[in-house]
Structure 1
């Protein structure tokens, strides 16, 4: 690591460097072909497998099950580094990581044991929650109905991020009475069709398109014992996006610095013998890097709030007697607009330090803005400032997102207001 590679801040723990060194060679190899993949729209099947082989999908899984048992701040530190290599791949693992949190907060029992063991062995989970046909994101027309000694799944999902790379789809549906039900669906089961039809101008390789299910047979062991999710669910999934943005900013800053350092042509009104000596150009480089640095620091600080929420939940704290879960969500919302703005600005102003050649497709600098703009469209930032303002003025809790029930300490479920 060179001096230029540093100054991104200390890792989130004393052991972080020891953990990260295991994955940095893989991150490096992923980054080498990031531009090529973006330009050719080549799905990163091979790169995802590198990470699976390295144990990336089991980062939070306890060591007894074959995982690394990292903390949430350590996890988000690694996600920032991965996103600097390719934010598409960070998003691919988003559902995997969220399902892991479900398990870590779930009741101890056969289901939890089985799936932690599967994740520890390297099995991978994709997403199956959103539907284009629904008026609200949390509503489902997909059904899982009883049939004999098993179940039958029918429906269609969109934004099935990661599923095209995965072994299983973590899927939400309703049963015959309209009650939420969740299942793990084998991606290779008969009747499952996963399409690469996501046509966004950013995050194009994340596999966020359509999955169709026609008379898919599910066994009882595929059905989740409870459709509830962990208390910090909305904050967690949003923070993955913010980690992706921080990584995008870091990559944009590094590429900009390299291009300025190697630039030969000068503007007629320039202030130096080269761009690398021009104080106004260097100011732009510094502004981009400062925004990326700030975004990363914010993400890691919010990750500490999520860690406190996790620890409170598994310790048995009554969610009605603590604000720790609420605070985790508020801290995340406080970060959304700030991080989004920092990175959207960084990926725009970087062109001010370069000539027209920076707009050439070969540099692919536009991918940073395209990826950032696409990510910031998820769970739009326009609502987060209002949520924070309501909390600050009156202590109002943010409206529930997704399922109304959350997993409370190792067992029961609780309604969320």
Structure 2
């Protein structure tokens, strides 16, 4: 059935159904065992391999370079459908899609050719950016250095989401001159150690744990200055989270409707002989589905704004590109709190449509709230309304990137 037939609204393009048809059978397989994987904490290695082989990772690579040439709205809608099956997998691939987005923003040069060929052949990139403990906002403790006649990288990263499943790892580091850089290394290099020690209560299958680098060889051709990466990166990475949340919403809607339809018992003080005929229960089911529908529609609107930023990059008009980037960040920020609230509400009221038995662990319905809550704790939503308000009232442009870490002590301060 098409997305329209399912009442989720039209896809983002005339060709979307054809594009999605390639992946939907795999998504269906993934969805069948999503609860079992969650309960058994079984990492989705085989599922990600199937997606790699189907070319999911090359969605944004132009057709002329071996990919599918998907627009950002098409990518976002595909990620909603994948997240409907298993939101862990979408988040595990988030770093890959972000890295790929940077590649397709590059000019036609040797670096772009090297990476589009790798991605088109099925290679997947993980990420290694965040550092914990005494990490600083303005620099990485992970560094490259000279060793013999080459470069190596050493350091420890956390929240290295998806790197356990990847062929390459995209690493944020400090360069030889103290500058911020980005580099890529092979996941199977003997100096790379990826550990699945993520202990969060949600998104537990994303392998968002620790990665250490010990004298890992670095190809100088794969070192990029951080500031030269694509400007709408923050908006893009947030878009993936928004699409993941919207997909969780669809999953909640589907599971709630199925559970209510199968329920034979009813309460003596209910409004119908069965839950499926109880108007109050149906109202809850409808509210959940409407929340999911609205979230998906918002995601596609945000994706359009980021698509405009992408296109502006190739127009050779710096002012127009700057404006498009700012608008993309603003539209993304406007969506974050609203979409988060819609899905968190849906993940809570699902239990109002059912009963105490719906809280049994084997059903796994609690995973939706845990996963949505974990996702919405990234890049804290509490700051988004303030940023939007500051723009609306004062015309203040949004920040493009953010990092977490300790800030330098104020000048003259003797505090640590």
Q: Distance in 1 between matches of 2:257 and 2:363?
A: 13
Residue 265 of structure 1 is matched in structure 2 by 265
Query: 1:110-166: per-residue Cα shift (whole Å, max 9, x none)?
Result: 111100111000001000111113545563100011234311111000110110000
Residue 365 of structure 1 is matched in structure 2 by 365
Residue 17 of structure 1 is matched in structure 2 by 17
8 Å contact 1:184–1:224 — kept in the other structure?
A: no
Q: Distance in 2 between matches of 1:262 and 1:138?
A: 55
Given the alignment of the two structures, is residue 238 of structure 1 paired with residue 255 of structure 2, yes or no? no
8 Å contact 1:264–1:274 — kept in the other structure?
A: yes
Would the alpha carbon gap of residues 202 and 226 (structure 1) be closer, same or farther in structure 2, given more than 3 Å must change? closer
8 Å contact 2:157–2:211 — kept in the other structure?
A: yes
Shift of residue 101, structure 1, vs aligned partner? 1.1
Residue 251 of structure 2 is matched in structure 1 by 251
Q: Distance in 2 between matches of 1:29 and 1:191?
A: 35
Residue 314 of structure 2 is matched in structure 1 by 314
Q: Secondary structure at the match of 1:378?
A: coil
Instruction: Give the 5 Å matches for 1:104-123.
Output: 104-123=104-123
8 Å contact 1:130–1:137 — kept in the other structure?
A: no
Aligned residue pairs, count = 403
Q: Distance in 2 between matches of 1:354 and 1:106?
A: 51
Residue 166 of structure 1 is matched in structure 2 by 166
Query: 1:209-253: per-residue Cα shift (whole Å, max 9, x none)?
Result: 000011222232343366521121100000100100000000001
Shift of residue 195, structure 1, vs aligned partner? 0.1
8 Å contact 2:4–2:10 — kept in the other structure?
A: no
Query: 1:87-120: per-residue Cα shift (whole Å, max 9, x none)?
Result: 0000111111111111111132111110011100
Q: Distance in 2 between matches of 1:138 and 1:13?
A: 41
Residue 133 of structure 2 is matched in structure 1 by 133
Would the alpha carbon gap of residues 29 and 322 (structure 1) be closer, same or farther in structure 2, given more than 3 Å must change? same
Would the alpha carbon gap of residues 241 and 134 (structure 1) be closer, same or farther in structure 2, given more than 3 Å must change? farther
Given the alignment of the two structures, is residue 228 of structure 1 paired with residue 214 of structure 2, yes or no? no
Instruction: Give the 5 Å matches for 1:400-411.
Output: 400-402=400-402
Any stretches of 5+ residues in structure 2 without a counterpart?
A: 404-416
Query: 1:171-220: per-residue Cα shift (whole Å, max 9, x none)?
Result: 01002332112111111112110000001110000111000011222232
8 Å contact 2:80–2:247 — kept in the other structure?
A: yes
Residue 410 of structure 1 is matched in structure 2 by none
Residue 219 of structure 1 is matched in structure 2 by 219
How large is the RMSD of aligned CA atoms in angstroms?
Answer: 1.7
Query: 1:336-369: per-residue Cα shift (whole Å, max 9, x none)?
Result: 0000000000000110011111001121100000
8 Å contact 1:96–1:126 — kept in the other structure?
A: yes
Structure 1, 82-91 or 208-217: larger mean CA deviation: 208-217
TM-score by length of 2: 0.94
Shift of residue 317, structure 1, vs aligned partner? 2.2
Query: 1:359-396: per-residue Cα shift (whole Å, max 9, x none)?
Result: 01121100000000000000010000000000101110
Would the alpha carbon gap of residues 57 and 146 (structure 1) be closer, same or farther in structure 2, given more than 3 Å must change? same
Q: Distance in 2 between matches of 1:181 and 1:4?
A: 44
Q: Distance in 2 between matches of 1:116 and 1:169?
A: 15
Instruction: Give the 5 Å matches for 1:320-359.
Output: 322-359=322-359
Residue 49 of structure 1 is matched in structure 2 by 49
Would the alpha carbon gap of residues 351 and 64 (structure 1) be closer, same or farther in structure 2, given more than 3 Å must change? same
